[in-house]
Amino acid sequence: MSVGELINMYKDGDMIIDPEYQRYYRWKIEQRSSFIESMILGIPVPSIFVSQDGNGKWDVIDGLQRISTLLQLAGELKNEKPLVLKGTKFLPALKDKNWETLGSNFQRIIKRRRINAIIIDSSNNTSIKYELFQRLNTNGTTLSPQEIRNVVIAMANHELFRETNSLSRNEIFRKITNNITKKQKSEQLDKELIDECYILLTVSAESMNPSDDLQDFITNSLIDNTKLLENLDSNKENMLSVFKLMAKILGENASKAYKNGKYENRFIRPIFEMTFVYTAFHKEKIRDKNELLEQYHKKIVDSSLYKKVTRRGIRPVDRIKNILLAKGDLHVKDANKNS
């Protein structure tokens, strides 16, 4: 299919590039200019993958940035200013050129270039496109696992996507996870923790497979979670009520280890998870007696459960399962023995 035909499909609404996950594919201006150079020079470019719905419309699954770059150059990409190119290795004259100043010769070359489109029929099974996106973007990608999940969730359920983003920016949540590092934040650990908390509130420990990959487990537990998706507002309020108690009683120490009479500064995920689960299962008691949570939190590091879930070699889903099965009991000998 020619680039000109792809541009017309987008203009006619027959090809969709959703802005909510388009933003996760941000090439730098140098990368976009280099791609346009490749198009002009006739260098082969990879195929794009699209899912086709029952009305014949395309949803771009892989190739978002290539298509977005072409649309932006042509001045057709919604919510984006037209692309102004940088000079490239073989075409330095591209510097400061846009579609209008590129010249009719280069315009024709680009519009006539052909890009192979591989079409996946998702009209009978919408989950195909989520699976396809994950497979195409799991290996050899610059995206973090959470960024991939963000896109998949945006495709599956826009409301859940928006709520996760909103909760990750919530001041109360930020207070109890204030010690997340810049690197962890850049990898979107904050959003991953929100996703995990949804799971801790809505998925039974007995249904968890300890050998599952953590990233697949979180994604699948969200997309296929009827209990969560049909009651999103109430689950959000439940989560916020847990965060509020943690923030009120523990403040910025909620995710820290208590050792030798003082709190260490490092963010420790199992401590966050254990504190969240204990608070969620004992909210009423904690509201009546705040010191219960403070006492529990200070005992975590020396508990048999903490030692069990932080032992070398334990898989992340196994850790989560044990914590959820314990429901706040710090001295369970084998929280997984009945699974």
DSSP string, 64-79: HHHHHHHHHHTT-STT
Q: What is the mean pLDDT of residues 32-38?
A: 96
Answer yes or no: is pLDDT of 205 > 70.
Answer: yes
Q: Between residues 152 and 300, which one has the greater pLDDT?
A: 300
pLDDT digits (tens, 9 = 90+) for 264-288: 999 999 999 999 999 999 999 999 9
pLDDT digits (tens, 9 = 90+) for 186-200: 888 999 999 999 999
82 close to 98: Cβ distance less than 8 angstroms: yes
Q: Between residues 188 and 173, which one has the greater pLDDT?
A: 173
222 close to 153: Cβ distance less than 8 angstroms: yes
User: What percent of the chain has a predicted confidence (pLDDT) above 70?
Assistant: 88
pLDDT at 19: 56
pLDDT at 307: 95
pLDDT at 140: 47
Q: What is the mean pLDDT of residues 227-238?
A: 94
Residues 6+ apart with CB under 8 A from 303: 330, 331
pLDDT at 335: 40
pLDDT at 27: 84
Residue 47, SS3?
coil
pLDDT at 60: 83
Rounded CA separation 211/318 (Å): 7
Rounded CA separation 172/269 (Å): 17
- The answer to pTM > 0.75 is no
pLDDT at 122: 66
Q: What is the mean pLDDT of residues 145-162?
A: 77
Q: At what angle do helices 29-41 and 64-73 cross, to 10 degrees?
A: 80
Q: What is the mean pLDDT of residues 74-99?
A: 94
Rounded CA separation 69/75 (Å): 10
Local structure of residue 90 (DSSP, 8 states): S
pLDDT at 33: 96
Between 66-80, 88-102, 135-149, the lowest mean confidence (pLDDT) is in: 135-149
**What value does the mean pLDDT of the chain take?**
88
Widest Cα–Cα separation across the chain: 76
The values of phi and psi at residue 192, to 5°, are -65, -35
Q: What is the mean pLDDT of residues 326-332?
A: 82
Q: What is the mean pLDDT of residues 145-158?
A: 74
Q: What is the mean pLDDT of residues 164-168?
A: 92
User: What percent of the chain has a predicted confidence (pLDDT) above 90?
Assistant: 67
Answer yes or no: is pLDDT of 106 > 90.
Answer: yes
Answer yes or no: is pLDDT of 23 > 90.
Answer: no
pLDDT at 187: 85
pLDDT at 337: 47
